[in-house]
Chain A
Amino acid sequence: MAIHTFAAVDVGSYELGLKIFEISRGRGIREVDHLERRIDLGSDTFYTGKISHRHVLQVGEVLRDFHSIMETYRCEDYKAYGTSAIREMTNASLVLRQWEQMSGIHVDVISNSEQRFLDYKSVASRGQQFNDFIKESCAIVDIGGGSLQISWFDEDRLSATQNMPLGVLRLYDRVRQIDARTDQFEGLVEEIVGAQIETFKKLYLGARKIHNLIIIDDHMSNFMQSRGMEIVSAEKLQVLLSQTRESSLHNIGSSLGLSDEALNLLYITGIMVNYICRSFGADRIWGTGVTLCDGIAYEYAEKHRILPPSHDFDEDILACTSEISKRYMGSETRSDTLETIATKIFDATKKIHGMRAREKLLLRISARLHDCGKYISMANIGECGYDIIMATEIIGLSHKEREIVANVVRYNHSEFVYYEEQENVTDLDLDSYMTITNLTAILQLANGLDRSHKQKFGDIRIQVRGDKMVITVRQGVDITLEKGMIKHRADFFEEILGLTPVIRQSNR
């Protein structure tokens, strides 16, 4: 049985964490060591945009310690992610390089959506318990230092996800800045949180109730677990939360050995959870106790095929995408057809473009969002679609991936701009741009094949024969319009993939 030793590092807003895991098919993911060091980076960056020199050095030293611990365990691989505090730094690249020089650990900055998706994955990896919870309407409430993410499930499927700048550390700083007394926290926090939660409800839930809440956080879950209550009813939660109120805080602090600041963060988290629970009308609450590091390990195991997938996460991303499309009045039927044709072209030309499953997912997302720009302007679908996608968080996608999707959707409608012709400053490298080019060529062709929007090409066969890509349509379908209109798109496809699309009608 091959055992892989892996280290996950989380450079969080107020804590640095390292977890060492052993991952094997037989024993799954086993946590071997876990270290945390409290360093409040969030307070620096959320207000000044930079990390103080003292904190740069402190983090460097901790990362050096982490590196030495990884060496102790002879870790084969590691992944270190920086989250919101690092994202909001104006001098991130400089600091990340310093840390790498000091410690030998390379920290990647992940987008909020990637971070939340990892959190979500780590909960989903709990298997049966997770499945039980999402069977009924369920929301994952992921309370970070900088922001709050609510992801809503409907009938087993991730339905929507929304990020709000309501992180616990951010809220704590806000109430501290206005010199609020602890007994004022509850009112103030509920006021701040309430405004945004109610908007979320109006947008996504309407009158619907969320029966189950899954909490991902650093304070409340641990508190629940310390009381032996990982899953509690709403009534029990009320009792538990009453213990976090000011009068009992000191007792909790001494029994759990928490610092004053940690106690305040627990208190604020308690207020947030309480409000959300009441507002959503939740019956059951699960304090998972998972951390980002668990998600990183799960992702590693999944990516390296050490563990079989426990849940189809791509389907969750696609379901979320469909919700976004729906919000912008996208045509579901049209999107389905386009997605079907595009994926068939993708699969048939795999050997030529060399793209993999992840790019295929991006193509499917692009197909689902291809017409969202219409919601703003029928005349400028491409540019409007680009802007909508860039302004919308798609769970599970990195910033770069979102930009790829946005560009594919844009060039599906607008004139393609080659890499060398770009005028705007972009984070996209040549490889990413090649992905955009390939996916655009495929989506454009697929779009051309469904020009009439009558799903005539829903049932097609595609084969590559020499320098031709033969698209076979079943007999009896009138494809005159498509044959005539496809010319321009076929030229671009040919230019990019070196294949001439040929439409044939089946004899059978």
Chain B
Amino acid sequence: MQNKAQAEKAVDYRNPDYYWNRELSWLQFNRRCLGEARSRENPLMERLNFLSITASNLDEFFMVRVSSLQDMVHSEYTKRDIAGMTASEQLSAVLADTHDFMSSQYYTYNRQLVPALREEGITMIDDYEDLTEDEKSYLEDYFTTEVYPVVTPMAVDSSRPFPLILNKSLNIGALLTRKENAGPGILNRTKKAKKAMKSEAENLEFATVQVPSVLPRVIRLPEESEKPHTARVILMETLIRHYMPRLFLNYNIVCAYPYRITRSADMDIDEDEAEDLLREIEKQLKKRRHGYAIRLEVENDMDPRMLNILCSELLLPQDEVYHIDGPLDLTFLSKVRKLEGFDDLHEHRYAPPQEVPQLPTGCDIFAQIRKSDIFMQHPYESFQPVVDFIANAAVDPQVLAIKQTLYRVSGNSPIVAALAKAADNGKQVTVLVELKARFDEQNNIVWARMLEKAGCHVIYGLVGLKTHSKITLVVRREEDGIRRYVHLATGNYNDVTAKLYTDCGLMTCKEPFGEDATAVFNMLSGYSEPKSWNRLILAPLWMKNRFLSLIDREAQHAKNGEPAHITAKMNSLCDPDIIEGLYKANAAGVEIDLIIRGICCLKVGIPGISDHIRVRSIVGNFLEHSRIFKFENAGRPEYYAGSADWMPRNLDRRVEIVFPLEDENVKKKAEHILQVELADTMQASLLKTDGTYEKVDRRGKEKINSQLIFCNEAVAAAKAARQQADSRHFIPEEHHQGLEEQE
């Protein structure tokens, strides 16, 4: 026994060999998305969408993660990460992997999707000469009337510095020579350009044109009537490239190539010093446009002279240049997906969000919540009750106050509109708008101003922390006193993403939850935290320890020979303390099933460390986003849900809320979600010991698509609820008899 204990003690659970690097793990996730783009089991238009998603994911990855690694390298940060890699090692590995990944993206595009589209009647035209005369004529008109007025050619010379190339914008660079008899050129080459071109013999000059973002990038050409159900598509950059001579009349176009840069999107906000956070963020957003370039995408065959100019002007080394075999920026595929007339190429198995059985349209939401806690599973169940919850509160004379946290909000948010209306109706409305929500900063500034104008009390959260929690509190004065209604969720108050992301929400009016919710908002308003919390678990102060103690409790149960099992579903797992806790629990004999959509730094299959841990990732029609945690607790299972992943940023640097699921029906529903996802054989991939993922081996197994099952169940539940409601419409006896007679 003593030896065993000593052996246990001797294990170094923080050994870097037991962890994957988070950036490389993220790239694995993007590969799983790419896998969906390649999968013939998905309808063609959905495959385009997946490929588009991988491209936008990668953009964000460069803007945030790669730029952060570069910062670390530049500042000579030498600390190793959880997997024992220095920043420099990580950067090299990431760049190598992304080069490989982008090759795979374009392989998928060129070899699989373009031919598949062609087979379905959709032709992607990448050479102007492939156009028919009619099409050319149409494009001539289109260019002259629509495009030409909005393009701005920009020359680069010693008096005109290299222009600011916008982040993620698509541009066409050109090398020019002055036409004979056209007089002396206006362009004086910059020193850098001279150096880059090496030879002055050709007297080349550089100019650039931004592909206008105000016009659609995907141009569908007029269809020939004899060929119904077909589409011919050309991209805007192909069109502009063709008409470059029009833009530089006295010049010969030596060559013209599209290029695209990605810039660092990190913001440097000193919240302690900022007197007005909103203004400071606005200032930083302007600065972000000038973030340094971290990636240059160019066409495979770009003229090396032009490439040299771009690299030297943008200060980019060769390994940050990506030579692309196809159109740059594959996000345009999401627009191709929307081409009309190809419905049969879309996914139709998933029904739209269904009515929540306990919350039928027009019901008294507050009365329904009083009956029991309501647990919703979006997007299978509609998000509308959440909107109605706030909208009803806004006009309910008994409601005294509405308090809510907003992290990412949709463009025309009905929730924000309801909050403004509530303030207008004299309710006390307190809204925490998180201004630091990455890439939603500008949007949130607009909402914050609008809500302030409407009379809401807008707060921007706590210094140094992002408020990522999703919570709404409605305070209502009822006959028996103040009653608080609380909505807690795993996803944002965003009615648009609520149709695409899988999330959970709980509505309750249990007093301990209400007290805690009140304390949360008091705390966010700058008042002291409560002496203790009844139910809610909050980060950054309490959550990590609580999770660690719950994990440890399972380990103790396992040691005592009692049932011990952890099932956790989240987006990412990379917190070293939590992973260490899981390894220890594994060593104690706890069975652990993890459903992790994205990053997972935990390694599976290490004998004695993680040989009882299984990790699966579900990448499906909807973005898996909910976080649900189950601890077996010696046969008395406890369930939690919340806004936090097991990541340092969630547990240490954000305000997050995890809440227990207490009602038996709610627990059953949570258990069902976990079990169905663990049984998924269609969309799930399993983490292997080498860090890659592979689809579940379906041989001899039933085809189980968890998202489709949830969808069908929601349809059935809504139908049953409607039938039950209809059966309560009593028919007077005479009338009833009359009907019988007719029959």
Contact = CB atoms under 8 A, between A and B. Distances in A.
Interface of A: 1, 3, 5, 15, 22, 24, 27, 30, 32-38, 65, 68-69, 71-74, 222, 225-226, 254-255, 257, 289
A72 B423 CA distance: 12
Contact of B428 (A32, A71, A257): A71
A32 B482 contact: yes
B528 A1 contact: no
Contacts of B526: 37
Contacts of A33: 518, 522
A226 B531 contact: yes
A65 B525 CA distance: 10
Given A22-B482, A72-B400, A74-B400, A34 B475 contact: no
Interface of B: 400-401, 428, 475, 477, 480-482, 518-519, 522, 525-532, 541-542, 545
A502 to B, nearest CB: 56
B400 A257 contact: no
Contacts, number: 55
B460 to A, nearest CB: 16
A78 to B, nearest CB: 16
Contacts of A222: 531-532
Among B401, B477, B480, B531, find the residue whose CB has the most chain A CB atoms closer than 10 A: B531
A5 B522 CA distance: 19
Contacts of B475: 72-73
A5 B545 CA distance: 37
Nearest to B545: A255
Nearest to A27: B481
Given A34-B522, A37-B528, A71-B428, 14 more contacts: A22-B482, A24-B481, A32-B482, A32-B518, A34-B519, A35-B527, A35-B528, A36-B528, A72-B428, A73-B482, A74-B400, A225-B532, A255-B545, A257-B529
A289 B532 CA distance: 11
A339 to B, nearest CB: 43
A307 to B, nearest CB: 15
B648 to A, nearest CB: 15
Contact of B481 (A22, A35, A65, A257): A22
B596 to A, nearest CB: 27
A24 B478 CA distance: 14
Among A5, A34, A289, find the residue whose CB has the most chain B CB atoms closer than 10 A: A34
**Which 6 pairs show the lowest CB-CB distances between chains A and B?**
A257-B541, A72-B428, A36-B528, A35-B527, A222-B531, A22-B481
Among A22, A33, A36, A254, find the residue whose CB has the most chain B CB atoms closer than 10 A: A33
Main secondary structure of the interface of A (DSSP, over half): mixed
A397 B531 CA distance: 31
Among B477, B526, B528, B542, find the residue whose CB has the most chain A CB atoms closer than 10 A: B528
26 contacts: A1-B480, A3-B480, A3-B481, A5-B482, A22-B481, A22-B482, A24-B481, A27-B480, A27-B481, A32-B482, A32-B518, A34-B530, A35-B522, A36-B528, A37-B527, A65-B525, A71-B428, A72-B428, A222-B531, A225-B532, A226-B531, A254-B541, A255-B542, A255-B545, A257-B529, A257-B542
Contacts of B541: 254, 257
Contacts of B525: 65
Given A35-B522, A72-B428, A257-B542, A30 B481 contact: yes
A36 B522 CA distance: 9
B518 A73 contact: no
B394 to A, nearest CB: 15
A200 to B, nearest CB: 29
Given A1-B480, A32-B482, A68 B428 contact: yes
Among B481, B525, B541, find the residue whose CB has the most chain A CB atoms closer than 10 A: B481
A289 B400 contact: no
A225 B481 contact: no
Contacts of A69: 428
A14 to B, nearest CB: 11
Among A35, A36, A73, A257, find the residue whose CB has the most chain B CB atoms closer than 10 A: A35
Nearest to A37: B527
Nearest to A32: B482
A254 B428 CA distance: 34
A36 B518 contact: no
Contacts of A27: 480-481
A76 to B, nearest CB: 12
A289 B531 contact: yes
A38 B528 contact: yes
Contacts of A30: 481
A50 to B, nearest CB: 25
A229 to B, nearest CB: 12
A37 B526 CA distance: 8
B400 A73 contact: yes
Given A32-B482, A72-B428, A257-B542, A225 B531 contact: yes
Nearest to A66: B527
Contacts of A1: 480
Contacts of B522: 33-35
Nearest to B540: A257
A255 B544 CA distance: 10
A289 B542 CA distance: 21
B417 to A, nearest CB: 21
A74 B477 contact: yes
A273 B379 CA distance: 56
A15 B527 CA distance: 10
A35 B541 CA distance: 19
Contacts of B542: 255, 257
Contacts of A71: 428
Nearest to A38: B528
A401 B482 CA distance: 37
A38 B528 CA distance: 7
Nearest to B538: A257
Contacts of B518: 32-33
Contacts of B529: 257
Nearest to B529: A257
A37 B74 CA distance: 42
Nearest to B400: A72
Contacts of A22: 481-482
B525 to A, nearest CB: 8
Nearest to B483: A32
A103 to B, nearest CB: 16
A24 B522 CA distance: 25
Among A1, A36, A68, A255, find the residue whose CB has the most chain B CB atoms closer than 10 A: A36
Contacts of A255: 542, 545
A35 B520 CA distance: 11
Contacts of A37: 526-528
Contacts of A24: 481
A28 to B, nearest CB: 11
B428 A36 contact: no
A225 B533 CA distance: 12
Contacts of B530: 34
Nearest to A30: B481
Contacts of A257: 529, 541-542
A399 B190 CA distance: 86
Nearest to B531: A222
Nearest to A23: B481
A74 to B, nearest CB: 7
Nearest to B541: A257
Contacts of A289: 531
Among A27, A37, A226, find the residue whose CB has the most chain B CB atoms closer than 10 A: A37
A255 to B, nearest CB: 6
B532 A72 contact: no
Contacts of B531: 222, 225-226, 289
A384 B248 CA distance: 108
Nearest to B403: A72
A4 to B, nearest CB: 10
A195 B481 CA distance: 50
Nearest to B482: A32
Nearest to A218: B531
A24 B481 CA distance: 9
A179 B249 CA distance: 80
A22 to B, nearest CB: 5
